[in-house]
Amino acid sequence: MHPILGTILQRLLLGLITLFFVSLIIFSAIEFLPGDFTQAVLGQAATEETVAAFRRELGLDQPAYLRYFNWVGSVMTGDLGTSFSGRASSGVDRSRAVVDLIAPRLWNTLFLAGMAGIVAVPLALFLGVTAALYRNTMYDRTVNAATLTTISFPEFFVAYLLILFFASLWPVFPSLANVNADTPFMERVYKCALPALTLTLVIVAHMMRMTRAAIINLLASPYIEMAKLKGVSRTRVILRHALPNAWAPIATVIAFNLAYLVVGVVVVEVVFVYPGIGQLMVDAVTTRDIPVVQACALIFAATYIILNLIADIIGIVTNPRLLHPR
């Protein structure tokens, strides 16, 4: 077996262990939240008996460690549990499985993140490489200033500006991204254009600047001077000699930003009324719908872990010292 595979398996295992600790943190954090679902639903006037009966139905009367193990146990079998909303005590049992609540929302979020990522990552790489190539020129300064400007504004402000220009003054895109499961693909892309553009503007600066910095950092290396003295052209010095050694830090930043696209975009979802997983989680926190909150948090954590794992793997396979040991 190639030693790299061993390293990757080891990282994967570490990722699982991390996820386990995260589950502990999520569970205890929710334990510490003031108030609970029963009070939130039944209100101040509810009698103690009703509250107790409701708590029994939801399993909230059991000690915390038991609830934790039940939760982890069922998550491991793929069962995220049942939402607290619409349970039998409120009359008719209209409660839904957490999976059914989350799945369409997660798909929406991944779709939007994918759209933004497909545009933002190549754009950031291109801008970063060209800014490094033409460093300290007008081009470099313009790119830096422009990306810094877009990252400096709050997301909602960028979103409203885009709505103002592209939905209101010059109406080419809709200002609402109200998609559902039946929306055809092209219409979905069309409706997601403005939110995706907002996200792109927000994340491009970070990735672009890291790409530029990682490359420029290497330009002082003796092997870059050697390449120049071998008569290698400027473009090839950057693309052939600097970039292959710069992937590890760039991949880390890209992973970080892609993770952000999945877990941190609730503000943009709200502005465009986009049914993503961020809104779902915020709603669930408001109503103390614990199974949904826990599932969302776990998915977010897993996203970070998986994307970082991929960045690590890229760092390893682009480093010949690790890929081809002595």
End-to-end CA distance of the chain: 16
At 45, give phi and psi (nearest 5°).
Answer: -80, -10
Nearest approach, Cβ of 151 to another protein (angstroms)?
30
* Residue 235 beta carbon to another protein: minimum distance, rounded to whole angstroms: 12
Q: Is 230 in the site for another protein (CB under 8 A)?
A: yes
Task: Point out which span in 31-39, 86-94, 216-224, 297-305 binds another protein (CB under 8 A).
Answer: 216-224
Least distance (Å) between residue 324 CB and another protein:
5
Sole window of 65-73, 78-86, 305-313, 318-326 interacting with another protein (rule: CB under 8 A): 318-326
Count of other CB atoms within 10 angstroms of residue 113: 23
235 touches another protein by CB under 8 A? no
136 binds another protein (CB under 8 A): no
Q: Is the Cβ–Cβ distance between 259 and 304 less than 8 Å?
A: yes
Q: Per CB under 8 A, does 222 bind another protein?
A: yes
Tokens of 45: 């006037």
Q: Which is nearer to another protein, 142 or 235 (CB)?
A: 235
Binding of residue 3 to another protein (CB under 8 A)? no
The full length of the chain comes to 326
Letter for the amino acid at 65?
Y
Q: Select from 56-64, 78-86, 129-137, 223-231 the region that touches another protein (CB under 8 A).
A: 223-231
Tally Cβ neighbours within 10 Å of residue 122.
Answer: 10
Q: Using CB under 8 A, which of the segments 83-91, 202-210, 300-308, 314-322 binds another protein?
A: 314-322
Q: Which residues contact 207 (CB under 8 A, 6 or more apart)?
A: 120, 121, 124, 125, 128, 250, 253, 254, 257
Dmax over CA atoms of the chain, in Å, equals 85
CB of 80 to another protein, least distance (A): 44
How far apart are CB 221 and another protein at their closest, in Å? 7
Stretch that binds another protein, among 56-64, 78-86, 154-162, 224-232 (CB under 8 A): 224-232
State yes or no: residue 137 binds another protein (CB under 8 A): no
From CA 197, how far away is CA 309, in angstroms rounded?
27
Considering only CA atoms, which of 170, 167, 254, 244 is closest in space to residue 204? 254
Among 70, 137, 168, 233, binds another protein (CB under 8 A): 233
Among 146, 232, 282, 302, binds another protein (CB under 8 A): 232
# chain residues binding another protein, by CB under 8 A: 23
* Among positions 8, 228, 287, 302, the unique one binding another protein when judged by CB under 8 A: 228
Q: Which window, 48-56, 103-111, 147-155, 236-244, contacts another protein (CB under 8 A)?
A: 236-244
Tell me: does residue 223 bind another protein (CB under 8 A).
yes
Give whichever of 247 and 260 is closer to another protein, judged by the CB atom.
247
Contacting residue, 175, 200, 245, 303, with another protein by CB under 8 A: 245
Angle between helices 277-286 and 98-133 (to 10 degrees): 130
**C-beta of residue 293 within 8 angstroms of C-beta of residue 29:** no
Helices vs. strands in the chain: H and E counts, helices first:
16, 0
Beta-carbon contacts of 79 under 8 Å, excluding residues fewer than 6 positions away, are 99
Instruction: Tell me phi and psi for residue 82, to 5 degrees.
Output: -120, 140
List interacting residues with another protein (CB under 8 A): 221-223, 225-233, 236, 240-241, 244-245, 318-321, 324, 326
